[in-house]
Amino acid sequence: MSAHEQELHLGHQFEDLKQQIESYTIGMWIFLVTEVMFFGGLFTAYIIYRAKFPEGWVHGHHHLDWRLGGLNTLILLTSSLTMALAVRAAMLNKWKPQVLFLVCTVLLAFGFMIVKYFEYSKKFREHIVPGPLFAHKDDPGQELFMGLYFALTGLHGFHVLIGILVISAITIRTINMRRMRQDFIPVELVGLYWHFVDIVWIFLYPLLYLISK
Amino acid sequence: MTNLHDEEHSDVVHAASVGSYLANYFALLGLLIITVAVARVDLGILNMYAAMLIAMVKTVLVVLFFMHLGKAGRLSRIWALTGIFFFLIMIGLNLTDYSSRHMDATSSPTQPQRGGEQPPAE
């Protein structure tokens, strides 16, 4: 373990490795706070309009398949597990399991996006995308619900795409660059990001797919 | 404050055991099943509170055991709480505003003016 840390590069602006790692982690958490506020605006809109159009929410959520949403929750939770195991492998300086777990995470993320693709295309076919072609024009609450559905899951899906890009880049660099294998910080930080994306979905799933009645 | 240079670096990396990650994962899966099961029972308004409570428990599990916030530094923890704090301020102030304006769906500007939907004149 101690041999591992001596190989870690210590930036000249830091006192020691502990401070360096803590500084990176704090920076990531600050970024995650801005992300909470970013999604928070949409969640606030969701709460206010759900209070205003309760029937629209109940009608709107019938367009969503709770089984597909549950499958995606399962996929994201599993990808969080593989991500956590990748971070663990990186900390223990085992770069091969690290690459394996990162590849698993990216594959699961693609699985999530594929399920989303089928969900989205079904809604476009059935004209329940907000806009002039919306099939239930007499129910503004329902259109608003679908609008928030696409805004929330779209922004979340965009975060998944960014996650795929960053995790893939780190995986390729870990394979190609020996120097990257000593530094677990990039994996640790993208891990924090990935778990945050998972948490957003943990809230989106019951809020969008599991409305009773 | 002790001198950090004198400390062993073993607390710099904090890799938990594979078993603890798996246990956390299965706990999350269990909570997912509970969420779906509870949603299929009609509890009225309690459904949403139950779903949000379960989601918060899942969040705590992810934050503590996958993001290991408990082992992160004190400043990281303060920032995480800051996120929750300002999120609650945003929701709280907005709800205070909207709930005191007495707007309901019938007074919504999107409701009445829909061209060509007037009842035909007899």
Q: Tens digits of per-residue pLDDT, B68-97?
A: 888 888 899 999 999 999 999 999 999 998
Q: In this predicted model, which residue has the larger pLDDT, B105 or A192?
A: A192
| Per-residue model confidence (pLDDT) at position B106 | 52
- Given a cut of 70, whether residue B52 has pLDDT beyond it is yes
Q: In this predicted model, which residue has the larger pLDDT, B59 or A139?
A: B59
User: Domain for residue B5, yes or no?
Assistant: no
Q: Which residues of chain A, if any, have pLDDT below 50?
A: 1-3, 5-6
User: In this complex, do B75 and A22 lie within 8 Å of one another by their Cβ atoms?
Assistant: yes
Is B77 in the same domain as B64? no
State residue A61 phi and psi, 5-degree precision: -75, -15
DSSP line for B41-95? S--TTHHHHHHHHHHHHHHHHIIIIIS-TTTS-HHHHHHHHHHHHHHHHHHHHHH
Is B49 in the same domain as B77? no
What sign does the dihedral A81-A87-A91-A95 (CA atoms) show? positive
Contacts of B18 in chain A (CB under 8 A): 85, 88
Assign B11 a pLDDT band (cuts: 50, 70, 90).
Answer: low
Number of domains within chain B: 2
Q: What domains are there in chain A, each with its CATH number?
A: 15-209 (1.20.120.80)
All residues at 6 or more sequence positions from A211 whose CB lies less than 8 Å from its CB, including other chains? A57, A58, A61, B39, B47, B48
DSSP letter for A8, please: S
For chain B, what percent of residues have pLDDT higher than 70?
A: 71
User: In this complex, do B91 and A184 lie within 8 Å of one another by their Cβ atoms?
Assistant: no
User: Domain for residue B86, yes or no?
Assistant: yes
Is B64 in the same domain as B33? yes
State which residues form the domain around B21.
16-68
**Is the separation of the CB atoms in A79 and A108 below 8 Å?**
yes
Contacts of A19 in chain B (CB under 8 A): 4
pLDDT tens profile B42-51: 888 888 899 9
pLDDT tens profile A123-161: 999 889 998 888 888 888 899 999 999 999 999 999 999
Joined tokens for residue A1: 């373990």
Is B86 in the same domain as B52? no
| Per-residue model confidence (pLDDT) at position B103 | 60
Is B60 in the same domain as B47? yes
Contacts of B88 in chain A (CB under 8 A): none
